[in-house]
Structure 1
């Protein structure tokens, strides 16, 4: 998380200690969401094989949801008076999302790897949701909405593996 301190807003939304705890949880998920979007774009560009077009297009739909979620999380962090950190160095150092191979990847492996990465991020979101319940209902609700959308995407990916 950024070493920059809280802004000097005159009207704090949360108490300082709560703000620090909430924004740390949000920052962890911001990092994972940014990394997931990058991973999925890598998969989108390099997927090959039967049904290429449908998975190529589906990945773009998921990426749009992930990017929108990361923007919401970043803006919530800033709303709470802490700078959001989406720098590549932060994402590379702090993301919990497993890496993605270089080169071309067949459709079936792409689906599996992307579904695994999506599941990792959903687990991180759900963990934060549990902790946010007593700290900040607004942040909790935001992560619930993001998780719900990503879980639907996970279902649609997994349905192709059967």
Structure 2
């Protein structure tokens, strides 16, 4: 185990779950916690740095998402603690455990940020869905928790995609694999 993972290992867990299973669940939940901490900060960054037409509607749309994602993070951290782990939320520990690049846009137009955020949600929601499948085999309580979160995050992504969708149902950011590429496509 890495140094930060040592602090997360369960020395006890909930009745009916062995420590090996608890440690697997904690590891997966830790990954989701880091992703959600990052998502909340990214959403707030966009909230502060979005400009242009429709600024106020997007600016105001993001704060409820930030609040909901922060609540999700808290729920995951408390589940980790319930299972006997230690949720680590210090800035350095989060940076050390991230496996993705930092959000790449600074001050940008509404459509540029929305295009980039769609890709951010693609990653977070895809990984949350994988975690749901894994929890289905290990811990139905954590599975249920993650499903509830995924319901909300998929709706948040829909809110973003509604701005990026044509009347034919096509996404202007389709086939983009980078935030800058999605931002450029959305701007056009």
Equivalent residues of 1:45, 1:56 under 8 A apart: yes
Equivalent residues of 2:11, 2:19 under 8 A apart: no
CA shift for structure 1 position 92: 1.4
Equivalent residues of 2:12, 2:19 under 8 A apart: no
Once the two structures are superposed, what CA deviation does each residue of 1:41-91 show, in whole Å capped at 9, x if it has no partner? 111101000000000011111111111111111100001010001111122
Aligned length: 161
TM-score by length of 1: 0.92
Equivalent residues of 1:97, 1:121 under 8 A apart: no
Partner of 1:160: 163
Question: Is it true that 1:22 corresponds to 2:25 in the alignment?
Answer: yes
Match of 2:137, SS state, is coil
CA shift for structure 1 position 96: 3.8
Correspondence for 1:6 among 3, 6, 10: 10
CA shift for structure 1 position 6: 2.6
Cα RMSD of the aligned pairs, angstroms, is: 1.6
Partner of 1:94: 97
Once the two structures are superposed, what CA deviation does each residue of 1:10-48 show, in whole Å capped at 9, x if it has no partner? x64520100000000000000000001111111110100
Select the structure with the greater relative contact order (CA < 8 A; seq sep ≥ 6): 1
TM-score by length of 2: 0.80
CA shift for structure 1 position 98: 3.9
Which consecutive unaligned segments of at least 5 residues does structure 1 have?
none
Change (3 A) 1:65 1:98: farther
Equivalent residues of 2:47, 2:63 under 8 A apart: yes
- 2-structure distance, mates of 1:2, 1:66: 23
Partner of 2:148: 145
Partner of 2:41: 38
Question: Is it true that 1:103 corresponds to 2:86 in the alignment?
Answer: no
Which consecutive unaligned segments of at least 5 residues does structure 2 have?
166-188
Question: Is it true that 1:136 corresponds to 2:136 in the alignment?
Answer: no
